[in-house]
Structure 1
């Protein structure tokens, strides 16, 4: 009987088919993992922006003596005035919130907060309490995983604000 020195074509094809199946499944798993990692980073960035906006608004409201609310079209403007007649203005327009504060002279400090999951803002004014309730309306329906919680703020002049 003659000794066999190599592999048959069928054996090579079976090994190549098994290897290509393993590689295809691995590539799909890596793609899914990378997509979920990207969604997680996006969620955490938006969450950090919402916390930054909330804490800045609370700090500004704590020093305010009056709150003025103005709604013009799709833009919502909240002006916080302190005891020295300095005003900090928040403009809520779609996914963007802009904070502006007049500094000494002609200088203006601006800060922007972008919340991509927000489509619109709704506000109610409580005149007897000198407070405003601001709520973000989501731009898309929440999905099962990593859906940002809607932003709701109650801002009270001269007091603590609640998230």
Structure 2
């Protein structure tokens, strides 16, 4: 069953890095053009909020057998600027726990480990960016959650 707003972070993803901090998980694939196009926007969010506690985790979800090679995925990740923790979801266990069936997909958890926002597709990074702004108090008052 897909995660819904307010759901807890799946237990398999609870680590020292993800505990007590705002955490953005983004699910992507090396064969996804939108994932590559959106990566610079994710880098800007990561750079802007890292010193305020935002943790980012990239989850590679292969869309075919040609995407199972970790060295190939790492090479592409380096090319497109993925510098955060990179998880390989070759068995689709993590993406399955999130309910992901398409990429890119974004999941933003608050410091209590509750899902605050999720978004998919080309505009997903913009939607997640606005949610991050609200969490960190950078959005106009009328849009704060």
Please report the TM-score for the alignment, with normalisation by the length of structure 2.
0.22
More helix by share: 2
Q: Which is richer in strand? A: 1
Q: Larger Cα Rg: Structure 1 or Structure 2?
A: 1
TM-score w.r.t. the length of structure 1 is: 0.20
